[in-house]
Amino acid sequence: MDLNLKGKNAFVCGSTQGIGRAIAEELAALGANITLCARNEKSLESVKTDLSTTDGQMHQILVADFSKPDSLNQLVSDHLEQGNQYQILINNTGGPPGGQAIDAGIDEFRIAFNQHLICNQILAQALSPGMKTAGFGRIVNIISTSVKIPLNGLGVSNTIRGAVANWSKTLANELGQFGITVNNVLPGATATQRLSSIIENKANKTGKSIAEVEQAMRSSVPANRFAEAKEVAAAAAFLCAPAASYINGVNLPVDGGRTGSL
């Protein structure tokens, strides 16, 4: 099985913590050169020093704020003009705050739409020409199992994630002829800062203890545990590998079997 990514360049968003960081580490371990992208320069530099360089990889950082799509567009354009080209794009942005859809303000939807779909589109448009030139491209979007079954209390997230999933499938149809695959990884409950925030918010709203909320969430998963970020990263990394060249346009749950649909 060909998992070798030596010589490939990967642009990894949200890569200072959680799933994004784990994906960057996994891709680097497979030989890829990584460009880490997030808001915090200090954290980016810290992660960069931890990435594997055993195959002579050269890693770099790009400080970007996904709440400002126009700035991101200019930043990436300038970055590519410096001669940077990519064969792998990992779209990964922290989810919107919880709450019911009916209670969400219009700005909450607009902000989430910009941070997720619009920024994903900016990056895909900017990086895909280099993928076409190489005859090899991988776009992997880290979304949520909510694209299969909406999750209670995550109204804005459910809405925007669904839009991203359909955008992704459309791109897969358009770009497949160029050797570019576009797939979605759908993490279930994963032991990250984001999950801790969701658990704390639910505990505050229900009056239950954090331990009670955690146990209820774990018991809903056939595996009876939360995922580790590295387990989600392994799935994303495989989809980036040469071995996954005929997997295109799929939603891949990494959820321990929790999602109640095929």
Its pTM surpasses 0.85: yes
Q: What angle (nearest 5°) sits at the alpha carbon of residue 165, between those of residues 189 and 214? A: 10
- Residues 16-68 pLDDT 10s: 999 999 999 999 999 999 999 999 999 999 999 999 999 999 999 999 999 99
Provide the CA 46 distance to its chain's centre, in angstroms.
20
CATH of 9-188+228-254, one of 1.20.1110.10, 3.40.50.720, 1.10.8.60, 3.30.565.10: 3.40.50.720
Q: Residue 93: phi, psi to the nearest 5?
A: -135, 140
What residue spans define the domains of the chain? 9-188+228-254, 189-226
pLDDT at 170: 98
- Residues 94-140 pLDDT 10s: 989 989 999 999 999 999 999 999 999 999 999 999 999 999 999 99
Q: Is 52 helix (H, G, I), strand (E, B) or coil?
A: coil
pLDDT at 197: 84
Residues 6 or more apart in contact with residue 12 via CB below 8 angstroms: 20, 23, 24, 27, 34, 35, 36, 37, 90, 92
Residue 194 has pLDDT above 90, yes or no: no
Rounded Cα distance between 136 and 124, Å, is 14
Residue 156 has pLDDT above 90, yes or no: yes
pLDDT at 202: 85
